[in-house]
Structure 1
Amino acid sequence: MLFIVVYGMLSLITWSAFAVKLKDLSRDWRNRELQLLCLAISTFAAPFFFATPPVYVRLDALLGQRNIATLIIYTCVAVCLTSFLALLVSWSSTQSKIRLRHRLIVGYAVTTIVAMVTFFFLGTVNDTEHPVDFDVHYASTPYITEFLLTYQCLFTVSMIGLILMCWRYSTMVDRPWLRGGLRVITAGAVTGLGYCLPKAVSLAWDVAGDSPLDSVSSVVAPMFASAAAALFAIGFTMPVWGVGMSTTASWISGYLAFQRRYPLWQAITRAFPEIVLVPPPSSRLELARELSFYQNRQVIEILDGEMRLRPHYDTAISELTRKECTGRRITGIQAEALVEAVQLAAALQAHVVGRELPLRSETDVRESTDGDLAKEATRLVRVAEALLSPVVPAVLARLTATAHDCRTQS
């Protein structure tokens, strides 16, 4: 039951990964790297389906040869690992070395598969099906011992090659999701050693005598192979779905930022309706469809409004706001956002009554962001949130009281 559940889940995960990459391949059939990746994932997914005990037995019955499913499974894994290695060579090697290294890898794989097929059919494995304990049951059977050793040698060499190439290449790439995927593959290859090494040791021990590692070989090692398969499926597809996740997260962040800036945009465009080039979206669906456009328009219109309010800025307001922030233990970016928010709120009030003041000091002019709308958009989110702080009405009330005292004294 354990193997049915685990292999069934792994088959589903790896076939799902295959579907993701096949979609990319359908757009670019001539892409050699995508061809290799699809071949690798499909031949890694197939063994878990075939190794599920009920499928294993029925496959043997269909082909009329007991335990032939083991040969099919191990051959698929050999093709898979060869494809993985060839793909990584394409990614990490110079163009002049790719062809030679591909030939060496494919040559070794073909030699191994031919040897495996030869040893398998020279041996005798016809007593009954062994979907779970084939390696243990036939460990000392003539020719099957060689068959298993040949396969485990290929598996071990492939895992070591994946570890070395993936880790080295991950230190060279600058794409975060690709780098992360390569490191996940490295972890998968390390986990894969937990499959092949115990099996190789147990097999060698069985040749010399009875191995005490039979349960490790037939139960524990396949679980390591299952974990490695899951990591491979995740790692090799991570650059695709990872970028998609980043795009989705960026869209959600932009949507929320638009909503958080909206009260600030409303306040400014109410004072200067002429700066609105395009009316705001009439529905959330319209906003979702044209989010980038509406974001840019929102930021540009707020900046336009800020420029028009600049004549109302007052150094005294900044100083008073900073004192209020100090009293409330507000520092850093939050304090600067509050200074801008109070200046905007006071300037909007001054605009309503038509009062204009000259700039008192260059320190009242915010540092330029070199026209970077992304930086401005982030800053304006902070300013919009600062407008909701109790500091703003507190400072405005003090300004009103100070103005009233000045009028009374005069």
Structure 2
Amino acid sequence: MGTTAVVYVAAGALALSSLPLFRRPRETLRNPLTVSTCAAIVLGALVFVCSAPLTLATVNRLTGIPNFGAPLTYGMLSAYSCSLLVLMVNWRGGPRDQVRRNVWRAVAAYGLLIVVLITLFLCGDARTERLRDLDTYYARTPYLREMIVLYLLGHTAATALLCAQCLKWGREVSGLLATGLRLILAGIALDVVGFQLTKYTAVVARWTGHDLDVLSTEVAPPLASLAGLVFATGFVLPRLLPLAVVHWRSVGDYRRLGPLWCRVRFASTAPEPPVSWLQTPLERLRWREVSIHDALLALAPYFDDTVRSHAQAAALAAGHGPHRARVAAEAAMLADATRRAAAHEVPPGPAPVPYRLHATEVTGPGGLVELARELAAAPGPDTSGEGTVSASSG
């Protein structure tokens, strides 16, 4: 894969990694940590896009200014460096005034740097278009020389501050957050060795009359792309992995509730959910929980306590523990209730049984999953095509 392709692939991967964080724009914009995370990732992706020779040529042609893509890329890299510091400040947290003050300091410092870079470019003589080796070609040109050194120093300062903060914070945290910090440090190491050191070496070589341009043109871009991906992983992993685990468990619970839902769905009056592919697994699970609870409420008039008592005695006699026997008895009572309701029979008593299912006494889907497991083994009618049952039936 060519250098340009590697850069574009890295940019795409970085941009995609921010999408899960930006799934709900309104909520995202109210969370400074999420906003700064997305901003850092998107700016990193833009740096890769802007630095690609194809992009540089397009920018130069559209603006009519040879090498205008250079200050654009350097300015974008400086903004990216600033965004990393802002992200770390928000991630670290603390008193709101202090966080806001540190953020504005970083923005002011790198905003000034960007202005200086553009000014130096305008003062320099960059008439010859260089799409791949501008750093080394103009390494000894007045004003452009200073521009190149300043953008590198600005990026080095940001990574040094970031490294110091990660090392300090890493001694105070553990678990997934510590893993994220280690990945950020690995990204810093790759960036220092693969991008900064190669760029500095190639530029200094030009100052001394030597040619090590290959370090700047061939070695730095792919290693910088890899460093950016490791950076992004370190920042995003502690935010996304816990959420991914929750959604993964939600998929399993959603499926385990299938037997229960198929048995009682005819009695549910819950409104239909939005388009399923727009829902997360957790949202789909919550909708199914609400719908099942609604159906259980509608079926309550058909509960027969005699059925439950006999089933519980049988389960205890079979050697089941008290909890397992209770859930098995409730499954038998529910199976009997669905049979009566599906057949439009009269409820067994003049008033609903004053009994609460275990699944309605606990939070989360665990109680419903237990009930579904027991109900799956209990015989019952096919109620998938039946109509809705009202809680006031009979």
Match of 1:121 in 2: 122
Higher relative contact order (CA closer than 8 Å, sequence separation 6+): 2
In structure 1, how many angstroms separate the alpha carbons of the residues matched to 2:24 and 2:239? 9
Structure 2 alignment gaps of length 5 or more: 277-283, 333-360, 379-394
In structure 1, how many angstroms separate the alpha carbons of the residues matched to 2:375 and 2:28? 46
Structure 1 position 57, deviation (Å)? 1.2
Match of 1:110 in 2: 111
In structure 2, how many angstroms separate the alpha carbons of the residues matched to 1:379 and 1:9? 46
Structure 1 position 291, deviation (Å)? 1.5
Aligned pairs for 1:5-154 within 5 A: 5-17=5-17, 24-27=24-27, 29=29, 32-95=32-95, 96-127=97-128, 129-154=129-154
**Contact preservation (8 Å) 1:13, 1:233:** no
Structure 1 position 182, deviation (Å)? 5.3
Structure 1 position 79, deviation (Å)? 0.9
Return the structure number with greater helix share: 1
TM-score, normalization by structure 1: 0.62
In structure 2, how many angstroms separate the alpha carbons of the residues matched to 1:277 and 1:260? 10
Q: 1:308 to 1:142 in 2, by over 3 A?
A: farther
Structure 1 position 245, deviation (Å)? 3.4
In structure 2, how many angstroms separate the alpha carbons of the residues matched to 1:252 and 1:67? 52
Aligned pairs for 1:381-396 within 5 A: none
In structure 1, how many angstroms separate the alpha carbons of the residues matched to 2:183 and 2:133? 29
In structure 1, how many angstroms separate the alpha carbons of the residues matched to 2:199 and 2:121? 18
Match of 1:292 in 2: 289
In structure 1, how many angstroms separate the alpha carbons of the residues matched to 2:287 and 2:32? 36
Q: 1:54 to 1:311 in 2, by over 3 A?
A: closer
Structure 1 position 202, deviation (Å)? 3.1
**Contact preservation (8 Å) 1:255, 1:288:** yes
In structure 2, how many angstroms separate the alpha carbons of the residues matched to 1:164 and 1:308? 68
Match of 1:225 in 2: 224
Structure 1 position 42, deviation (Å)? 3.7
Residue type of the alignment partner of 1:125: A
> Which moves more between the two structures, 81-90 or 42-51?
42-51
**Contact preservation (8 Å) 1:183, 1:235:** yes
Aligned pairs for 1:302-313 within 5 A: 309-313=311-315
Structure 1 position 27, deviation (Å)? 4.8
Q: 1:298 to 1:247 in 2, by over 3 A?
A: farther
**Matched-pair identity in %:** 22
**Contact preservation (8 Å) 1:25, 1:31:** no
Match of 1:271 in 2: none
Residue type of the alignment partner of 1:163: C
Q: Secondary structure at the match of 1:124?
A: coil
In structure 2, how many angstroms separate the alpha carbons of the residues matched to 1:288 and 1:106? 42
Structure 1 position 288, deviation (Å)? 6.9
Q: Which of the pair has more CA radius of gyration?
A: 1
Q: 1:292 to 1:199 in 2, by over 3 A?
A: same
Aligned pairs for 1:341-356 within 5 A: none
Structure 1 position 92, deviation (Å)? 0.9
Q: Is 1:215 the counterpart of 2:217 in the alignment? A: no
Residue type of the alignment partner of 1:97: Q
Structure 1 position 135, deviation (Å)? 2.0
Structure 1 alignment gaps of length 5 or more: 267-275, 322-335, 349-369, 388-410
**Contact preservation (8 Å) 1:85, 1:105:** yes
**Contact preservation (8 Å) 1:296, 1:373:** no
**Contact preservation (8 Å) 2:180, 2:238:** yes
Structure 1 position 35, deviation (Å)? 4.8
Structure 1 position 75, deviation (Å)? 0.5
Structure 1 position 295, deviation (Å)? 5.8
| Deviations 1:303-339 (CA, angstroms, capped at 9, x unpaired) | x977653333567x54xx9xxxxxxxxxxxxxx99x9
Q: 1:374 to 1:116 in 2, by over 3 A?
A: same
Structure 1 position 167, deviation (Å)? 6.0
Q: 1:31 to 1:385 in 2, by over 3 A?
A: closer
Structure 1 position 168, deviation (Å)? 5.3
In structure 2, how many angstroms separate the alpha carbons of the residues matched to 1:290 and 1:140? 66
In structure 1, how many angstroms separate the alpha carbons of the residues matched to 2:66 and 2:74? 15
> Which moves more between the two structures, 192-201 or 108-117?
108-117
Structure 1 position 80, deviation (Å)? 1.6
Q: Is 1:256 the counterpart of 2:255 in the alignment? A: yes
Count of aligned residue pairs for this structure pair: 337
Q: 1:385 to 1:91 in 2, by over 3 A?
A: same
Residue type of the alignment partner of 2:78: A
**Contact preservation (8 Å) 2:37, 2:87:** yes
| Deviations 1:289-308 (CA, angstroms, capped at 9, x unpaired) | 84213566899999x97765
Residue type of the alignment partner of 1:291: R
> Which moves more between the two structures, 11-20 or 46-55?
11-20
Aligned pairs for 1:160-199 within 5 A: 160-166=160-166, 169=169, 184-193=183-192, 194-199=194-199
Q: Secondary structure at the match of 2:126?
A: coil
RMSD across aligned C-alpha pairs, in angstroms?
A: 4.9
| Deviations 1:169-192 (CA, angstroms, capped at 9, x unpaired) | 57767995x776555444433332
